[in-house]
Amino acid sequence: MTNIFTGKSIKEGVKILARIMKESKYAVVLTGAGMDTESNIPDFRGEDGLWRKIDPRVVASIDTFKENYTLFREFYSERIERLNFVKPHVGHYILADFEMRGIIKSIATQNVSGLHRMAGNKKVYELHGNIRSIRCNNCGKEAEMEDFLSNNKCANCGEKALRPNVVLFGEVLPFNEWISAESDIKKSDLLIVIGTSLEVYPVNQLPMLSKGRLVLINKEDVDTYYNFDLKLIGKAGEILRELMEAYE
């Protein structure tokens, strides 16, 4: 039976999680868009989610990249420019501290913001890529961010095919990142899922690979068939702050 903690009972749930983490030998974290919302990055499917206003299957797809590059570039240019005002929040730094101290082994993330690395995490599997890096879709060479924002052609092959290094709808996930994340989760005796609705395939299959305990930290309850041992319903940053205090 899943233990669910909300509101004033969060402190009690956090104490349980802290005890579980101390007992764990191989804890892994899986994060989604809800991890970044406290850094003022809108999530995709929440009440104010980005995808409520824009259909991602239209804009963030490889088909749009090929058939309507102007729309594609405008959409991603706006997303990139928003990142100028975005920094990791306290929760990101706490996860970085947990990794540095060996409390968690790695983070697999659906987020393309790069905030985990900015906060100091080293072992991060970016399953959907990183929006802060640019490459040419034609020749594969890395490119400068300013060239994409200025709508320049690729300096290597001369094609107008620059794009953020993210996974678009209609593309497969990066093989090495996926295999590494899959391997770590299979070895885990604790998987902490933070800020994701677990609606996106194939990442939503990863929790089922863990043979250990499953814990959810999310702003909203996830009504799924995952057999979570513990659910902490609230903001990721606030719960992680409580967790760090309870762990000491």
Closest of 160, 138, 165, 157 to residue 147, by C-alpha:
160
Determine how β-strand 129-136 pairs with β-strand 162-166: antiparallel
Active-site residue identified among 89, 92, 116, 128: 128
User: How far is the C-alpha of 199 from the C-alpha of 222, rounded, in Å?
Assistant: 9
Q: What is the DSSP letter of 169?
A: B
- Which among 8, 12, 28 has a CA at the least distance from the CA of 230? 12
Q: In degrees rounded to 5, what are phi and psi of residue 108?
A: -105, 130
Distance, in Å, from the CA atom of 94 to the CA atom of 90, rounded to the nearest integer, reads 6
* Active site (annotated) includes residue 128: yes
CA distance 159 to 51: 30
Structure tokens at 210: 């863990």
**Which of the 8 DSSP states describes residue 233?**
E
Place of tokens 């980005």: 50
- Residues labelled as active-site residues: 128
